[in-house]
Amino acid sequence: MQVPLWEHDTILSVERLTMRFGGLIAINELSFKAARGHITAVIGPNGAGKTTVFNCITGFYKPTEGRLVLYHGKPGSDLLTPLTDGATPDISDQQGRVFLLERLPDYLVAQKARVARTFQNIRLFSGMTVLENLLVAQHNHLMRASGWTLKGILGLKSYRQAEAAAIAKARQWLERIHLTARADDAAGALPYGDQRRLEIARAMCSDPQLLCLDEPAAGLNPKESGELNALLRGIRAEGLTSILLIEHDMSVVMEISDHVVVLDYGTKISDGTPDFVRNDPKVIAAYLGAEDEGEVKAIEAEVGV
Amino acid sequence: MAGQPSLGQGQGIVEYFAQQLINGVTLGSIYGLIAIGYTMVFGIIGMVNFAHGDLFMVSSFIALLVFLFVTTIVGITSLFITLTIVLLASMFLTSLINWVIEKSAYRPLRGSFRLAPLISAIGMSILLMNFIQVAQGARNKPLAPMLTDVIKIAGEGNFVVAISYKQIVIVAVTALLLAVFWYLVQRTPLGRAQRACEQDSRMAALLGINVDRTISITFVMGAALAAVAGTMYLVYYGVVNFADGFVPGVKAFTAAVLGGIGSLPGAVVGGLLIGLIETFWSAYFSIEYKDVAAFSILAVVLIFMPQGLLGKPEVEKV
């Protein structure tokens, strides 16, 4: 069997991640890898710990134990030990840079490690316009260009050019998600499906290396769900951003993902290609609530796998 | 108030009204500048910064000291240059003070229960007031009158409508700074980040915005505007006292609530309204009850418009 891509071109490596809340173990020694350029899906029954994994990756929770390694480019594997032993959050060589995400505060996970995310419940800046939402995502770039606001107030040329470029980029994304006509409307006024796509476009405007999507298809009708799949496939085809997604909608997962990781009660029960996972008895058991191997066999016979 | 004529027999009614309008707008500009500091801080971290009024008073003292330093020790005689230096120095030093206060007294309490920073702010208010009382004494500190010339606009004899240079300077500086500030909040990346943090600071952080720094800058901006108000107050009244922060502070807070707390245009409109109500009540009814009138109108407005005049209604989450 050939070595899967996530083993040798890794963007994110979750290593023995444990997250406890008091006596409750939400995630227990979870390890998996996500490949660069792939769409990796994290699935599992409700309460399996999927969103907790996301919260650890994006710096909202500090993991109780474990390591979250993010790679930009292909830095030498010998960097990881000195990085772990040292106190800095990142280290680099000629080929790239390695980050330990658990050492970064949330805004630096976005700013330096370039991880963007969306939420299960949409979190647009609903009082700002659609276009402004896309500009906020380009904040750090624009802030530098505005000379920390001084050039912005004076309206200097270098800032005006940077702003024009940011607006052009935002407009490109609006084009892609078919919202050009609504650029100046309040984001909160958009229909639900449009808000979902706008949230993804906003995350993409921050030029992420890794895009984490928390149930992007939740609440979408089949047409909207189809548009979402097309958008995600488009991002994958460009090859600049890897995607990690949590999803309940199996049709979305099986259709667009390259790699599926299955969680149950905070531990990994299966990891592989969509085909492999679909036929894994442990996954079937977890989803259908079977107690032991015997029952699993019976269920398998029933559903015909 | 400048140029308050006595009312004749039906004469000069229009002039008297116009004069009060000018006085009210001047006073309202000062309230509006302070109110912005309340409304911005409330907008971004949901805290009423009780020390803001005292910060305004401190800025007035800084302006006084810098003025004396510049005119007597450095010996600059041009009033324009002096006032520019005084204004900039007061803005800078007041911002610095508020930056330190935010960092040391409010930020460590940010994760704490809601009342903690509020109580800390009351503490800061007492600290600033007492510090000035000890350092500068409890008596009024006067400044020689300046910009006392007036321009007659209309009327004759006893019923002149006059606008003093002071009033022109105050209204013009306020208008100019509000314009700059408005541009900053609406059109620069910094302002956009502030508005984003106001709506959802966690999401803003996940887009790479340094929320703590944005909050710091908000405190600095509020302090700079309070310092403009403090300097103008000193120029207008020519006297300042360690307890002078309280009443204007409460009125500016009232203005922010009246205009709709969290709303920038609301703070300015609220400030102007409070200034006008106070001035007109003093002019036509009784000067003793001017504050009662201002606060009663606030109560009535809030009964019928709980969000204030320009406040946004809470967005319903569907």
DSSP A114-143: -EEE--SS----TTSBHHHHHHHTTHHHHH
| Residue A97 sits in the same domain as residue A177 | no
- Sign of the Cα torsion B258, B260, B261, B264 reads negative
Q: What is the 3-state secondary structure (H, E, C) of chain B?
A: CCCCCCCCCCCCHHHHHHHHHHHHHHHHHHHHHHHHHHHHHHHHHCCCCCCHHHHHHHHHHHHHHHHHHHHHHHCCCCHHHHHHHHHHHHHHHHHHHHHHHHHHHHHHHCCCCCHHHHHHHHHHHHHHHHHHHHHHCCCCEECCCCCCCEEEEECCCCCCEEEEHHHHHHHHHHHHHHHHHHHHHHHCHHHHHHHHHHHCHHHHHHCCCCHHHHHHHHHHHHHHHHHHHHHHHHHHHCEECCCCCHHHHHHHHHHHHHHCCCCHHHHHHHHHHHHHHHHHHHHHCCHHHHHHHHHHHHHHHHHHCCCCCCCCCCCCCC
| Residue A67 sits in the same domain as residue A197 | no
The reported pLDDT for the residue numbered B3 is: 45
Q: Examine residue A252 and state whether it is found in any structural domain, yes or no.
A: yes
| Residue A224 sits in the same domain as residue A264 | yes
Could you tell me if A219 and A192 are in contact, meaning their C-beta atoms sit under 8 angstroms apart?
yes
User: Helices A293-303 and A281-288, interaxial angle, to 10°?
Assistant: 90
**pLDDT band per the 50, 70, 90 thresholds, residue A143:** confident
| Residue A159 sits in the same domain as residue A222 | no
| Chain B nearest C-alpha distance from A275 (Å) | 33
The reported pLDDT for the residue numbered B317 is: 38
The residue ranges of every structural domain in chain B are 31-244
Intervals of chain B under pLDDT 50: 1-8, 315-318
The reported pLDDT for the residue numbered B1 is: 43
Greatest Cα pair distance in chain B: 68
Distance CA B274, CA B259 (A): 10
| Minimum Cα–Cα distance from B211: chain A residue | A107
With CB atoms and an 8 Å threshold, state whether A58 touches B315. no
For residues A302 and A275, the model is more confident at A275
The reported pLDDT for the residue numbered A293 is: 60
Task: Tell me the chain A residues in contact with residue B185 when contact means C-beta distances shorter than 8 Å.
Answer: none
Q: Examine residue A297 and state whether it is found in any structural domain, yes or no.
A: yes
| Residue A155 sits in the same domain as residue A43 | no
**pLDDT band per the 50, 70, 90 thresholds, residue A148:** low
Q: Examine residue A185 and state whether it is found in any structural domain, yes or no.
A: yes
pTM higher than 0.95: no
Mutate to test the interface with B, among A57, A106, A205 (most CBs of B within 10 A): A106
Alpha helices in A17-63 (DSSP H): 50-57
Nearest to A106 among B192, B195, B205 (CB): B205
With CB atoms and an 8 Å threshold, state whether A136 touches B205. no
Containing domain of residue A292, as a range? 274-305
With CB atoms and an 8 Å threshold, state whether B211 touches A126. no
Task: Tell me the chain B residues in contact with residue A135 when contact means C-beta distances shorter than 8 Å.
Answer: 189, 192
Could you tell me if A269 and A296 are in contact, meaning their C-beta atoms sit under 8 angstroms apart?
no
| Residue A198 sits in the same domain as residue A215 | no
| Residue A110 sits in the same domain as residue A9 | yes
Domain count along chain A: 3
Which amino acid, residue B50?
F
| Residue A227 sits in the same domain as residue A266 | yes
- The CATH number of the domain holding residue A9 is 3.40.50.300
Nearest to B207 among A60, A139, A145 (CB): A139
Distance CA A85, CA B126 (A): 48
Nearest to B189 among A58, A117, A143 (CB): A143
With CB atoms and an 8 Å threshold, state whether A132 touches B192. yes
Mean pLDDT on A244-269:
86
Q: Examine residue A119 and state whether it is found in any structural domain, yes or no.
A: no
Distance CA B144, CA B234 (A): 10
The reported pLDDT for the residue numbered B318 is: 36
| Residue A20 sits in the same domain as residue A66 | yes
With CB atoms and an 8 Å threshold, state whether B193 touches A139. yes
Could you tell me if B28 and B267 are in contact, meaning their C-beta atoms sit under 8 angstroms apart?
no
Pairing mode, strands B239-240 and B141-142:
antiparallel
| Residue A145 sits in the same domain as residue A199 | yes
pLDDT tens for each residue of A84-100: 888 888 887 778 888 88
Distance CA A264, CA A273 (A): 18
| Residue A94 sits in the same domain as residue A232 | yes
Q: Examine residue A120 and state whether it is found in any structural domain, yes or no.
A: no
Say whether pLDDT at A177 is over 80.
yes
pLDDT tens for each residue of B69-87: 998 888 778 888 999 999 9
Mean pLDDT on A123-132:
90
**Cα atoms found within 13 Å of the Cα of residue A193, Cβ hemisphere only:** 13
Mean pLDDT on A79-86:
80
Nearest to A125 among B180, B183, B199 (CB): B199
Could you tell me if B249 and B56 are in contact, meaning their C-beta atoms sit under 8 angstroms apart?
yes
Mean pLDDT on A291-296:
60
Q: Examine residue A263 and state whether it is found in any structural domain, yes or no.
A: yes
Mean pLDDT on A263-271:
87
The reported pLDDT for the residue numbered A61 is: 87
| Share of residues in chain A with pLDDT > 90 (%) | 11
| Residue A267 sits in the same domain as residue A163 | no
With CB atoms and an 8 Å threshold, state whether B189 touches A149. yes
Q: Examine residue A63 and state whether it is found in any structural domain, yes or no.
A: yes
Q: Examine residue A82 and state whether it is found in any structural domain, yes or no.
A: yes
Lowest mean per-residue pLDDT among A153-167, A290-304, B119-133, B134-148: A290-304
Q: Which residues of B touch A (CB under 8 A)?
A: 180, 183-184, 187-190, 192-193, 195-196, 199-200, 202-211, 312, 315
